[in-house]
Protein backbone atom coordinates (compact mmCIF):
# COMPACT_ATOMS: atom_id res chain seq x y z
CA UNK A 1 0.00 0.00 0.00
CA UNK A 2 1.48 3.30 -1.12
CA UNK A 3 0.35 6.55 0.47
CA UNK A 4 0.19 9.42 -2.02
CA UNK A 5 0.27 13.10 -1.03
CA UNK A 6 -1.93 15.69 -2.77
CA UNK A 7 -2.01 19.46 -2.35
CA UNK A 8 -5.44 21.06 -2.80
CA UNK A 9 -7.34 24.28 -2.22
CA UNK A 10 -10.83 22.87 -1.70
CA UNK A 11 -12.54 19.60 -0.90
CA UNK A 12 -13.84 19.36 -4.47
CA UNK A 13 -10.35 20.00 -5.87
CA UNK A 14 -8.91 17.33 -3.54
CA UNK A 15 -11.56 14.71 -4.36
CA UNK A 16 -11.01 15.27 -8.09
CA UNK A 17 -7.21 14.98 -7.85
CA UNK A 18 -7.41 11.84 -5.72
CA UNK A 19 -9.96 10.18 -8.02
CA UNK A 20 -7.95 11.02 -11.15
CA UNK A 21 -4.71 9.61 -9.77
CA UNK A 22 -5.92 6.67 -7.63
CA UNK A 23 -9.34 5.83 -9.07
CA UNK A 24 -12.81 5.88 -7.54
CA UNK A 25 -12.05 3.39 -4.75
CA UNK A 26 -9.26 5.57 -3.30
CA UNK A 27 -9.17 5.87 0.48
CA UNK A 28 -8.46 9.22 2.14
CA UNK A 29 -6.45 8.76 5.32
CA UNK A 30 -5.62 12.27 6.47
CA UNK A 31 -6.33 15.89 5.68
CA UNK A 32 -4.32 18.65 7.30
CA UNK A 33 -3.95 22.36 6.68
CA UNK A 34 -0.58 23.51 5.40
CA UNK A 35 1.12 26.45 7.08
CA UNK A 36 1.12 29.54 4.82
CA UNK A 37 4.91 29.29 4.34
CA UNK A 38 4.71 25.71 3.10
CA UNK A 39 1.73 26.52 0.87
CA UNK A 40 3.90 29.20 -0.80
CA UNK A 41 6.41 26.48 -1.81
CA UNK A 42 3.65 25.04 -3.93
CA UNK A 43 2.90 28.47 -5.40
CA UNK A 44 -0.41 28.74 -3.55
CA UNK A 45 -1.77 31.87 -1.93
CA UNK A 46 -5.17 30.59 -0.83
CA UNK A 47 -5.62 28.40 2.26
CA UNK A 48 -4.14 25.10 1.20
CA UNK A 49 -4.21 21.61 2.59
CA UNK A 50 -2.45 18.32 2.22
CA UNK A 51 -4.36 15.12 1.66
CA UNK A 52 -2.96 11.61 2.11
CA UNK A 53 -4.67 8.82 0.20
CA UNK A 54 -4.04 5.35 -1.16
CA UNK A 55 -5.53 2.87 -3.60
CA UNK A 56 -6.58 -0.21 -1.63
CA UNK A 57 -5.09 -3.49 -2.87
CA UNK A 58 -6.84 -5.56 -0.26
CA UNK A 59 -9.48 -3.22 1.09
CA UNK A 60 -10.13 -4.96 4.39
CA UNK A 61 -6.54 -5.30 5.53
CA UNK A 62 -5.50 -1.86 4.28
CA UNK A 63 -8.37 -0.18 6.09
CA UNK A 64 -7.61 -2.15 9.19
CA UNK A 65 -4.11 -0.75 9.19
CA UNK A 66 -4.72 2.92 8.58
CA UNK A 67 -8.46 3.57 8.49
CA UNK A 68 -9.68 6.27 6.14
CA UNK A 69 -12.66 7.20 4.01
CA UNK A 70 -13.40 5.54 0.69
CA UNK A 71 -14.39 8.10 -1.90
CA UNK A 72 -16.74 5.68 -3.65
CA UNK A 73 -18.66 4.60 -0.55
CA UNK A 74 -22.35 5.46 -0.76
CA UNK A 75 -23.42 6.06 2.79
CA UNK A 76 -24.51 8.82 5.10
CA UNK A 77 -22.83 7.21 8.07
CA UNK A 78 -19.14 6.78 8.83
CA UNK A 79 -17.30 3.82 7.38
CA UNK A 80 -18.09 0.52 9.01
CA UNK A 81 -20.81 -2.08 9.39
CA UNK A 82 -24.39 -0.76 9.15
CA UNK A 83 -26.10 -0.08 12.42
CA UNK A 84 -29.48 -1.76 12.77
CA UNK A 85 -32.74 -0.45 14.10
CA UNK A 86 -33.52 -0.79 17.80
CA UNK A 87 -35.16 1.08 20.61
CA UNK A 88 -32.89 3.52 22.42
CA UNK A 89 -32.30 2.75 26.07
CA UNK A 90 -30.79 5.01 28.65
CA UNK A 91 -28.61 5.11 31.70
CA UNK A 92 -26.57 2.67 33.71
CA UNK A 93 -27.99 -0.83 34.02
CA UNK A 94 -29.19 -1.01 37.61
CA UNK A 95 -28.25 -4.65 38.12
CA UNK A 96 -24.56 -4.10 37.45
CA UNK A 97 -22.47 -3.57 40.56
CA UNK A 98 -19.87 -0.83 41.02
CA UNK A 99 -16.91 -1.70 38.82
CA UNK A 100 -13.84 -3.31 40.31
CA UNK A 101 -10.42 -2.52 38.91
CA UNK A 102 -9.55 -4.85 36.04
CA UNK A 103 -6.86 -7.29 37.03
CA UNK A 104 -3.96 -8.38 34.86
CA UNK A 105 -1.86 -6.47 32.38
CA UNK A 106 -2.17 -6.26 28.61
CA UNK A 107 -2.70 -9.68 27.17
CA UNK A 108 -0.14 -10.26 24.45
CA UNK A 109 -1.62 -10.38 20.95
CA UNK A 110 -1.65 -13.80 19.35
CA UNK A 111 -2.04 -15.70 22.63
CA UNK A 112 -5.69 -16.40 21.99
CA UNK A 113 -5.05 -19.80 20.43
CA UNK A 114 -3.62 -21.34 23.61
CA UNK A 115 -5.69 -21.07 26.75
CA UNK A 116 -3.40 -21.13 29.76
CA UNK A 117 -6.03 -20.14 32.24
CA UNK A 118 -8.28 -21.90 34.70
CA UNK A 119 -12.05 -21.66 34.30
CA UNK A 120 -13.82 -18.87 36.22
CA UNK A 121 -15.06 -20.11 39.59
CA UNK A 122 -18.71 -19.82 38.47
CA UNK A 123 -18.05 -20.96 34.93
CA UNK A 124 -18.26 -24.76 35.05
CA UNK A 125 -15.49 -26.01 32.80
CA UNK A 126 -15.77 -23.12 30.34
CA UNK A 127 -12.33 -21.50 30.09
CA UNK A 128 -13.14 -18.52 27.93
CA UNK A 129 -14.14 -16.37 30.93
CA UNK A 130 -10.52 -15.83 31.96
CA UNK A 131 -9.65 -14.91 28.42
CA UNK A 132 -12.44 -12.34 28.35
CA UNK A 133 -11.09 -10.84 31.59
CA UNK A 134 -7.61 -10.68 30.08
CA UNK A 135 -9.07 -8.83 27.08
CA UNK A 136 -10.60 -6.19 29.38
CA UNK A 137 -13.92 -7.59 30.63
CA UNK A 138 -14.89 -6.90 34.24
CA UNK A 139 -15.32 -10.21 36.10
CA UNK A 140 -19.10 -9.66 36.42
CA UNK A 141 -19.44 -9.14 32.67
CA UNK A 142 -17.22 -12.13 31.80
CA UNK A 143 -19.48 -14.16 34.09
CA UNK A 144 -22.51 -12.90 32.18
CA UNK A 145 -21.09 -14.32 28.96
CA UNK A 146 -20.31 -17.63 30.66
CA UNK A 147 -23.86 -17.75 32.05
CA UNK A 148 -25.18 -17.22 28.53
CA UNK A 149 -22.91 -20.01 27.20
CA UNK A 150 -24.06 -22.41 29.92
CA UNK A 151 -27.70 -21.48 29.36
CA UNK A 152 -27.50 -22.21 25.64
CA UNK A 153 -24.90 -24.99 25.48
CA UNK A 154 -24.90 -26.57 28.93
CA UNK A 155 -22.14 -27.13 31.48
CA UNK A 156 -19.67 -28.83 29.17
CA UNK A 157 -17.81 -26.72 26.63
CA UNK A 158 -17.01 -28.13 23.18
CA UNK A 159 -13.88 -30.22 22.79
CA UNK A 160 -11.64 -27.74 21.07
CA UNK A 161 -10.59 -24.28 22.19
CA UNK A 162 -11.42 -22.87 18.75
CA UNK A 163 -15.01 -24.04 19.08
CA UNK A 164 -15.30 -22.59 22.60
CA UNK A 165 -14.02 -19.26 21.33
CA UNK A 166 -16.45 -19.33 18.43
CA UNK A 167 -19.37 -19.97 20.78
CA UNK A 168 -18.21 -17.07 22.95
CA UNK A 169 -18.20 -14.78 19.91
CA UNK A 170 -21.71 -15.90 19.02
CA UNK A 171 -22.89 -15.32 22.60
CA UNK A 172 -21.41 -11.82 22.49
CA UNK A 173 -23.17 -11.10 19.19
CA UNK A 174 -26.45 -11.97 20.93
CA UNK A 175 -25.65 -9.67 23.87
CA UNK A 176 -24.78 -6.74 21.58
CA UNK A 177 -27.31 -3.87 21.38
CA UNK A 178 -26.96 -1.99 18.08
CA UNK A 179 -27.19 1.78 18.04
CA UNK A 180 -30.57 2.91 16.68
CA UNK A 181 -30.63 4.18 13.13
CA UNK A 182 -29.95 7.90 12.98
CA UNK A 183 -32.99 9.92 11.96
CA UNK A 184 -33.10 10.74 8.25
CA UNK A 185 -34.48 14.20 8.85
CA UNK A 186 -31.78 16.78 9.26
CA UNK A 187 -33.52 19.08 11.70
CA UNK A 188 -31.68 17.71 14.72
CA UNK A 189 -28.03 18.73 15.06
CA UNK A 190 -25.41 16.33 16.38
CA UNK A 191 -23.86 17.51 19.64
CA UNK A 192 -20.73 16.04 21.22
CA UNK A 193 -20.42 16.21 25.00
CA UNK A 194 -17.94 14.79 27.47
CA UNK A 195 -14.88 15.58 29.53
CA UNK A 196 -12.26 17.97 28.14
CA UNK A 197 -9.59 16.55 25.86
CA UNK A 198 -11.26 13.21 25.10
CA UNK A 199 -11.50 13.87 21.36
CA UNK A 200 -14.93 15.49 20.86
CA UNK A 201 -13.77 18.05 18.30
CA UNK A 202 -11.64 15.43 16.53
CA UNK A 203 -14.67 13.12 16.19
CA UNK A 204 -16.75 15.99 14.88
CA UNK A 205 -14.04 16.75 12.28
CA UNK A 206 -13.82 13.07 11.28
CA UNK A 207 -17.57 12.71 10.78
CA UNK A 208 -17.82 16.10 9.09
CA UNK A 209 -15.02 15.25 6.67
CA UNK A 210 -16.58 11.88 5.82
CA UNK A 211 -19.96 13.55 5.23
CA UNK A 212 -18.50 16.18 2.92
CA UNK A 213 -16.09 13.90 1.04
CA UNK A 214 -18.45 10.94 0.65
CA UNK A 215 -21.79 12.58 0.15
CA UNK A 216 -21.14 16.22 -0.68
CA UNK A 217 -23.85 16.84 1.91
CA UNK A 218 -24.81 20.35 2.96
CA UNK A 219 -23.37 20.68 6.45
CA UNK A 220 -23.27 23.46 9.01
CA UNK A 221 -21.11 23.69 12.11
CA UNK A 222 -21.44 25.66 15.32
CA UNK A 223 -18.35 26.21 17.40
CA UNK A 224 -19.81 27.52 20.64
CA UNK A 225 -18.45 28.58 24.00
CA UNK A 226 -19.74 26.85 27.12
CA UNK A 227 -18.85 27.70 30.68
CA UNK A 228 -15.36 28.09 29.18
CA UNK A 229 -14.30 29.51 25.81
CA UNK A 230 -14.16 27.14 22.87
CA UNK A 231 -10.54 27.28 21.75
CA UNK A 232 -10.89 24.72 18.93
CA UNK A 233 -9.36 26.92 16.23
CA UNK A 234 -8.57 23.77 14.24
CA UNK A 235 -12.31 23.20 13.73
CA UNK A 236 -12.62 26.58 12.00
CA UNK A 237 -9.66 25.67 9.80
CA UNK A 238 -11.20 22.32 8.77
CA UNK A 239 -14.49 24.00 7.99
CA UNK A 240 -12.69 26.51 5.80
CA UNK A 241 -10.88 23.69 4.00
CA UNK A 242 -14.12 21.80 3.42
CA UNK A 243 -16.10 24.89 2.49
CA UNK A 244 -18.51 24.34 5.39
CA UNK A 245 -20.14 27.36 7.08
CA UNK A 246 -19.18 27.73 10.73
CA UNK A 247 -20.99 29.93 13.19
CA UNK A 248 -19.85 31.12 16.60
CA UNK A 249 -23.38 31.74 17.94
CA UNK A 250 -26.26 29.31 18.07
CA UNK A 251 -28.74 30.32 15.41
CA UNK A 252 -30.96 27.23 15.26
CA UNK A 253 -31.10 24.69 12.45
CA UNK A 254 -32.10 26.50 9.24
CA UNK A 255 -35.37 25.28 7.76
CA UNK A 256 -34.06 24.99 4.21
CA UNK A 257 -35.59 22.56 1.75
CA UNK A 258 -33.87 19.18 2.05
CA UNK A 259 -32.15 20.33 5.22
CA UNK A 260 -28.55 20.46 6.28
CA UNK A 261 -26.64 18.22 8.61
CA UNK A 262 -25.67 20.15 11.74
CA UNK A 263 -22.76 19.58 14.12
CA UNK A 264 -22.31 21.47 17.39
CA UNK A 265 -18.93 21.66 19.12
CA UNK A 266 -18.76 22.84 22.72
CA UNK A 267 -15.95 22.69 25.29
CA UNK A 268 -15.68 19.75 27.66
CA UNK A 269 -16.82 20.13 31.25
CA UNK A 270 -15.43 19.05 34.58
CA UNK A 271 -17.72 16.08 35.16
CA UNK A 272 -16.81 15.89 38.87
CA UNK A 273 -18.57 19.20 39.59
CA UNK A 274 -22.32 19.68 39.73
CA UNK A 275 -22.24 23.30 38.57
CA UNK A 276 -20.63 22.90 35.12
CA UNK A 277 -22.77 19.81 34.54
CA UNK A 278 -25.90 21.83 35.41
CA UNK A 279 -24.80 24.63 33.07
CA UNK A 280 -24.17 22.10 30.32
CA UNK A 281 -27.65 20.65 30.80
CA UNK A 282 -29.18 24.10 30.41
CA UNK A 283 -27.11 24.79 27.32
CA UNK A 284 -28.16 21.48 25.75
CA UNK A 285 -31.83 22.31 26.36
CA UNK A 286 -31.30 25.54 24.43
CA UNK A 287 -30.44 23.50 21.29
CA UNK A 288 -33.97 22.07 21.01
CA UNK A 289 -33.64 18.34 20.51
CA UNK A 290 -30.05 17.68 19.50
CA UNK A 291 -28.73 14.13 19.08
CA UNK A 292 -26.30 14.02 21.98
CA UNK A 293 -23.21 11.81 21.69
CA UNK A 294 -21.21 11.22 24.85
CA UNK A 295 -17.52 10.97 23.94
CA UNK A 296 -15.19 8.88 26.12
CA UNK A 297 -11.45 8.26 25.94
CA UNK A 298 -11.22 4.47 25.52
CA UNK A 299 -7.65 4.42 26.87
CA UNK A 300 -8.86 5.49 30.33
CA UNK A 301 -9.36 2.89 33.05
CA UNK A 302 -12.76 1.33 33.04
CA UNK A 303 -13.85 2.47 36.54
CA UNK A 304 -13.17 6.05 35.46
CA UNK A 305 -15.12 5.61 32.22
CA UNK A 306 -18.12 4.24 34.09
CA UNK A 307 -17.97 7.14 36.54
CA UNK A 308 -17.97 9.56 33.61
CA UNK A 309 -20.96 7.80 32.05
CA UNK A 310 -22.80 8.19 35.36
CA UNK A 311 -21.86 11.87 35.63
CA UNK A 312 -23.36 12.70 32.23
CA UNK A 313 -26.45 10.50 32.69
CA UNK A 314 -28.59 13.58 33.49
CA UNK A 315 -28.29 14.67 29.84
CA UNK A 316 -30.37 13.19 27.02
CA UNK A 317 -27.48 11.02 25.84
CA UNK A 318 -28.34 9.14 22.63
CA UNK A 319 -25.24 6.97 22.44
CA UNK A 320 -21.52 6.66 23.18
CA UNK A 321 -18.49 7.40 21.01
CA UNK A 322 -15.19 5.89 22.14
CA UNK A 323 -11.90 7.50 21.10
CA UNK A 324 -8.15 6.89 21.55
CA UNK A 325 -8.55 3.24 20.63
CA UNK A 326 -5.15 3.44 18.95
CA UNK A 327 -3.73 3.66 22.48
CA UNK A 328 -5.68 0.70 23.87
CA UNK A 329 -4.89 -2.93 23.10
CA UNK A 330 -7.64 -4.44 25.22
CA UNK A 331 -10.67 -3.65 23.09
CA UNK A 332 -12.59 -6.28 25.06
CA UNK A 333 -13.11 -3.56 27.64
CA UNK A 334 -15.60 -1.91 25.27
CA UNK A 335 -17.99 -4.74 26.06
CA UNK A 336 -18.28 -3.40 29.60
CA UNK A 337 -19.88 -0.27 28.18
CA UNK A 338 -22.34 -2.46 26.28
CA UNK A 339 -23.07 -4.85 29.14
CA UNK A 340 -22.62 -2.43 32.05
CA UNK A 341 -24.69 0.53 30.82
CA UNK A 342 -27.97 0.87 28.95
CA UNK A 343 -26.35 2.99 26.26
CA UNK A 344 -25.38 1.77 22.83
CA UNK A 345 -21.98 2.33 21.21
CA UNK A 346 -22.26 4.44 18.05
CA UNK A 347 -18.72 5.05 16.79
CA UNK A 348 -15.19 3.84 17.47
CA UNK A 349 -12.40 6.31 16.80
CA UNK A 350 -8.68 5.66 16.71
CA UNK A 351 -5.95 8.21 16.11
CA UNK A 352 -5.54 11.88 15.39
CA UNK A 353 -5.74 11.63 11.59
CA UNK A 354 -8.81 13.22 10.02
CA UNK A 355 -10.84 11.42 8.67
CA UNK A 356 -8.56 8.58 9.84
CA UNK A 357 -10.23 5.71 11.61
CA UNK A 358 -13.83 6.44 12.58
CA UNK A 359 -16.17 3.49 12.18
CA UNK A 360 -19.63 2.44 13.27
CA UNK A 361 -19.33 0.34 16.40
CA UNK A 362 -20.16 -3.33 15.86
CA UNK A 363 -19.22 -6.64 17.46
CA UNK A 364 -17.20 -7.49 14.34
CA UNK A 365 -15.17 -4.27 14.60
CA UNK A 366 -14.39 -5.05 18.25
CA UNK A 367 -13.59 -8.75 17.64
CA UNK A 368 -10.96 -7.76 15.05
CA UNK A 369 -8.85 -6.27 17.84
CA UNK A 370 -10.17 -8.31 20.75
CA UNK A 371 -9.36 -11.70 19.26
CA UNK A 372 -6.68 -10.97 16.65
CA UNK A 373 -6.12 -13.92 14.31
Ligand X SMILES: Nc1nc2c(ncn2[C@@H]2O[C@H](COP(=O)(O)OP(=O)(O)O)[C@@H](O)[C@H]2O)c(=O)[nH]1
Applying CB under 6 A, the span of 2-10, 80-88, 95-103, 319-327 interacting with ligand X comes to 319-327
Q: What is the DSSP letter of 215?
A: I
Q: Which of 113, 196, 274, 304 binds ligand X (CB under 6 A)?
A: 196
The CB density around residue 115, as the number of other CB atoms within 10 Å, is 15
From residue 350, alpha-carbon distances to 5, 255, 319 in Å are 21, 34, 18
Told to check if 329 binds ligand X by CB under 6 A, we report no
From residue 307, alpha-carbon distances to 75, 128, 301, 302, 358 in Å are 34, 27, 10, 9, 24
Choose between 79 and 165: whose C-beta lies nearer to ligand X: 79
Told to check if 362 binds ligand X by CB under 6 A, we report no
The CB density around residue 44, as the number of other CB atoms within 10 Å, is 16
Task: For residue 341, list its beta bridge partners.
Answer: 92
Tell me the site size for ligand X, rule CB under 6 A: 16
Closest residue to ligand X, judged by C-beta, is 199
Told to check if 201 binds Mg ion by CB under 5 A, we report yes
Told to check if 80 binds ligand X by CB under 6 A, we report no
Are 293 and 206 spatial neighbours (Cβ–Cβ below 8 Å)? no
Identify whether 36 is preceded by a cis peptide bond (ω within 30 of 0).
no
Told to check if 236 binds ligand X by CB under 6 A, we report no
In the complex, least distance from residue 197 CB atom to ligand X, rounded to whole angstroms: 4
Half-sphere exposure at residue 223, Cβ-oriented, CA atoms within 13 angstroms: 19
- What CA–CA distance (Å, rounded) separates 52 from 68? 9
- What CA–CA distance (Å, rounded) separates 9 from 219? 19
Q: Which of 67, 178, 189, 199 binds ligand X (CB under 6 A)?
A: 199
- What CA–CA distance (Å, rounded) separates 222 from 250? 7
Told to check if 211 binds Mg ion by CB under 5 A, we report no
Applying CB under 6 A, the span of 98-106, 146-154, 164-172, 194-202 interacting with ligand X comes to 194-202
Told to check if 206 binds ligand X by CB under 6 A, we report no
Longest dimension (CA), the chain: 71
Binding marks (x or -) toward Mg ion, 218..247, rule CB under 5 A? --------------x---------------
Told to check if 197 binds ligand X by CB under 6 A, we report yes
In the complex, least distance from residue 76 CB atom to Mg ion, rounded to whole angstroms: 24
Told to check if 48 binds Mg ion by CB under 5 A, we report no
Told to check if 294 binds Mg ion by CB under 5 A, we report no
Q: Which of 281, 352, 367, 368 binds ligand X (CB under 6 A)?
A: 352
In the complex, least distance from residue 182 CB atom to Mg ion, rounded to whole angstroms: 22
Which residues of the chain form contacts with ligand X (CB under 6 A)?
196-202, 268, 323-324, 326-327, 349-352
Amino acid sequence: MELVTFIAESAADAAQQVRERLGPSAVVVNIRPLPATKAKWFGRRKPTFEILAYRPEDTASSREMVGGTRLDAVSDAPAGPESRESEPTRGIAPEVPEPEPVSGGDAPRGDWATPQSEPLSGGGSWKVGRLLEASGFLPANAQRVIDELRRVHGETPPETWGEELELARTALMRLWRPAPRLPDEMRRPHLFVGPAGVGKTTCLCKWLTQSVLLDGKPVRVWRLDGSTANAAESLSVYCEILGVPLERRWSGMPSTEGGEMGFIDIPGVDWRLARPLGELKQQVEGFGSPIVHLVLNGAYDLPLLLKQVRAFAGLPIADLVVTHLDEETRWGKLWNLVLGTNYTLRFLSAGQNIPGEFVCASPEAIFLRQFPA
